[in-house]
């Protein structure tokens, strides 16, 4: 493999997380993977893991809410020179609270992370992909984008904003050959983040009640591989045991 094509995942954290899993999956398929997130340590672990399995990964420290960081990420990608086939915005931030206890700062932060970062990322990714008239742009969304329930109102509002952004981008750029996909993750992911942030809830789900990381990544890849004559813009992903 000479890695003529590349992918980028923004929102790579713990190795047992969706960002890292998507990156590994794309690396396994032969893409040079650019992985970005706030923690250099975590990125290095993921990059090493990919390298050890014969893949090629470049770690770029970036905070999705900082326009400069995102621009820099895409400059690094551009310098490398191989066309971007996949760009996945995988930042997902959720801080549950009753609305009267939600500070403006928190409400804003969730929007910056779940939506504004996606907007900046999307513009850069599309600018990179447009000349080649190909590429898949993924946004990892949530059921909350469809139904706002306390104590997740701030999260839901931010994810609804993301969903609308993704839908608009699909309408604007699909005809130009860019496949824009919004996934609705409905349930708890079997990863470090949920295990730590929603520990009790996580345990209550049991093994069969959690979304497996690799299973999600496989669907992302299938959707990326769709022929342009039958593209999917939106799909839900949920454990078979999950009530909905």
Q: Which parts of 145-174 interact with a second copy (CB under 8 A)?
A: 145, 147-150, 152-154, 156-165, 167-172, 174
Rounded to a whole number of angstroms, the minimum distance from the CB of residue 161 to a second copy is 4
Ramachandran assignment for 58, one of left (phi > 0), alpha (psi -120 to 50 degrees), beta (any other):
beta
Distance CA 221, CA 218 (A): 5
CA–CA gap between residue 91 and residue 140 (Å, rounded): 7
In the set 2, 81, 175, 200, which binds a second copy (CB under 8 A)? Answer: 175
3 state SS of 115:
helix
> In sequence order, what are the residues at sequence separation of 6 or more whose Cβ sits closer than 8 angstroms to the Cβ of residue 124?
70, 71, 73, 74
Cβ within 8 Å of residue 129, ≥6 positions away: 83, 84, 87, 135, 137, 177, 178
Q: Could you tell me the sign of the dihedral formed by the alpha carbons of 203, 218, 37, 126, in that order?
A: negative
**Span of 35-43, 44-52, 122-130, 195-203 interacting with a second copy by CB under 8 A:** 122-130
Q: Is the CB of 54 or the CB of 222 nearer to a second copy?
A: 222
Quote the least distance from Cβ 82 to a second copy, whole Å: 22
Give the shortest CB-150-to-a second copy separation in angstroms: 4
Verify binding: residue 88, a second copy, rule CB under 8 A. no
CA distance 244 to 242: 6
Judged by CB under 8 A, the chain residues 190 through 209 that form the site for a second copy are: 190, 208
Q: Binding string, 16-55, against a second copy, x = CB under 8 A? A: ----------------------------------------
Among 7, 125, 194, 211, binds a second copy (CB under 8 A): 211
Q: What's the angle, vertex CA 94, arms to CA 91 and CA 99, rounded to 5?
A: 145
The smaller minimum CB distance to a second copy, of residues 2 and 131, is found at 131
Count residues near a second copy (CB under 8 A): 78
Within 89-108, the residues that bind a second copy by CB under 8 A are 98-100, 102, 104, 107-108
Interacting stretch for a second copy, rule CB under 8 A, among 19-27, 47-55, 191-199, 210-218?
Answer: 210-218
Q: Give Cα separations from 132 to 41, 125, 127, 223, 230 (angstroms).
A: 34, 12, 10, 19, 19
User: Binders of a second copy among 223-242, rule CB under 8 A?
Assistant: 223, 225-242
């Amino acid at each position: 493999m000479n890695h003529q094509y590349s992918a980028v995942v923004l929102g790579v954290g713990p190795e047992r997380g969706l960002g890292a899993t998507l990156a590994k999956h794309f690396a396994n398929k032969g893409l040079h993977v650019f992985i970005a997130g706030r923690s250099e340590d975590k990125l290095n672990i993921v990059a090493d893991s990919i390298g050890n399995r014969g893949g090629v990964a470049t770690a770029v420290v970036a905070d999705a809410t900082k326009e400069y960081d995102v621009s820099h990420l895409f400059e690094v990608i551009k310098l490398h020179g191989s066309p971007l086939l996949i760009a996945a915005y995988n930042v997902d931030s959720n801080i549950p609270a009753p609305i009267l206890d939600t500070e403006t700062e928190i409400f804003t932060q969730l929007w910056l992370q779940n939506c504004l970062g996606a907007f900046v990322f999307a513009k850069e990714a599309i600018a990179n992909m447009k000349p080649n008239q190909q590429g898949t742009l993924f946004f990892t969304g949530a059921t909350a984008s469809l139904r706002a329930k306390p104590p997740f109102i701030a999260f839901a509002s931010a994810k609804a904003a993301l969903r609308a952004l993704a839908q608009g981008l699909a309408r604007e750029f699909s005809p130009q050959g860019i496949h824009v996909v919004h996934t609705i993750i409905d349930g708890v992911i079997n990863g470090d983040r949920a295990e730590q942030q929603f520990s009790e809830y996580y345990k209550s789900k049991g093994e069969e009640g959690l979304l497996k990381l690799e299973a999600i990544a496989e669907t992302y890849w299938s959707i990326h591989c769709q022929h342009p004559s039958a593209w999917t813009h939106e799909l839900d992903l949920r454990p078979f045991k999950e009530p909905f």
